[in-house]
Structures are given as structure tokens and as C-alpha cells.
Amino acid sequence: MFQKRLKIARKNKKYTQEELADLVKTTKATISNYENGYSTPSIDMLLLLSSKLDVSVDFLLGNDDIDFSDIELFSKEELVLIKNNLTENKIKLESIILKIEKLLK
């Protein structure tokens, strides 16, 4: 979840990986590794990314909903990521609902 949200937030600010790396005093490779899920940031880096991207840590970690009021600002790639994420969550929720319904019988 983090890697998807980081990429969405970065692209929403129209930063390249290199520009974001410069803002948070790291390398483009590090940002790429975060976005591809090869590594995760420290708490300090997570806070810095959150600050520079103007999003909450909860958003980056997937604990907050995406603000869809400006959905037209998202690129096609971002919209595909969001759609896939929502689809995954829908499937998980449907599974949980089925389990709850069985337990309530």
C-alpha cells in the first residue's frame, strides 16, 4: 500500500523521483526502491515524505481515504492504481461480509 500511495502523492505534486529525492535529501534510487516495494523508509523519512508531499502519514500508510474531489487531476496510471486498490479492498470486504453473515446465522 505504501508504495502505491507514495507514487500517487508524488505524481499529484508533479514531482519526479529525483525532485522528491532532492527535497528529502536522499537519492532517486531510494525513492524508486520505496515505490517499487524493495525497501521501506524509516519513521523520520516517512514524516519528511509526508511533509514534503502535503499528505498525512496515515494516507501514505493506507490508513486514510483518498480525497476524490479532484479525481480529474490524477493521471491514467494513478487512476488504474486507485481502481486496482479499490477492487482489492472490495474483494476483501466482500469476503469479510460473507464470514460475518455465516457467523450471524
Domain span at residue 91 reads: 2-104
AA identity, residue 93: L
How many domains does the chain fold into? Answer: 1
User: pLDDT, tens digit, for every residue of 17-58?
Assistant: 999 999 999 999 999 999 999 999 999 999 999 999 988 898
d(Cα 67, Cα 71) in Å, to the nearest integer? 8
Write down the pLDDT at residue 90.
80
> Model-level pTM?
0.62
Half-sphere exposure of 63 (CA within 13 A, CB side): 4
Q: What CATH number should be reported for the domain holding residue 30?
A: 1.10.260.40
